[in-house]
Amino acid sequence: MGPATAAPAPADEHPPAAALLLPADKRARWEHADSLAALEEAPGRDRSEHLGGRFERSVHYNQAARGYLALRDRGARPTLAVGALVVQHHYAVGAASPSVTFAMLKVADAGPAAERWQFFVLDTELRVTTVAAPAGCGSCHGAWAPDAVFGPPAAATLQ
């Protein structure tokens, strides 16, 4: 099988063409897949900013990302710790099981925001399907303050 190439994505969809789509036989289970059950879940489920707004999302985060819910207050500017993990499960409207999962892992405190994070797209078996380049996911996340992370679902409240 030849090298994988990304098909051009419509302008309103993510992951953009800068991401590398891994062929099914090259996908491996995500190294953090087994820890997902231990993540905190932000209250609520709402429309995702990803995938043209066609999916609902639930958001989960680890202890290193405990400041995540503060992003509900648009004036808040928390900086998440290295090791912060923010995971969005994307569901067809009203579906019980996710169709795709997006994850962000903070790997550094210094440098441009988009380079402080690793971005992953996971299939329904939590295998890595896409490893996005900073020009991909990072192009939107890197332009967003604070710390390249968008806020929790609208139903989430500060705890």
Instruction: Kindly report, residue by residue over 118-139, the tens digit of the pLDDT.
Output: 889 899 999 998 876 656 777 7
Give me 59's structure tokens: 């958001």
Helices (H) and strands (E) in the chain — how many of each? 1, 8
Instruction: Kindly report, residue by residue over 16-69, the tens digit of the pLDDT.
Output: 444 567 888 888 999 999 999 999 999 989 999 888 889 999 999 999 998 888
Residue 100 near residue 123 (C-beta atoms within 8 A): yes
Distance, CA of 1 to CA of 76 (rounded, Å):
48
Going by C-alpha positions, the residue among 101, 111, 98, 157 that lies closest to residue 138 is: 111
Going by C-alpha positions, the residue among 91, 78, 4 that lies closest to residue 44 is: 91
User: Given the structure tokens 């609902």, which residue do they identify?
Assistant: 56
Instruction: Kindly report, residue by residue over 71-122, the tens digit of the pLDDT.
Output: 877 667 788 999 999 999 999 998 999 999 999 999 998 887 777 888 898 9
Decide the pairing of beta strands 117-122 and 100-106: antiparallel
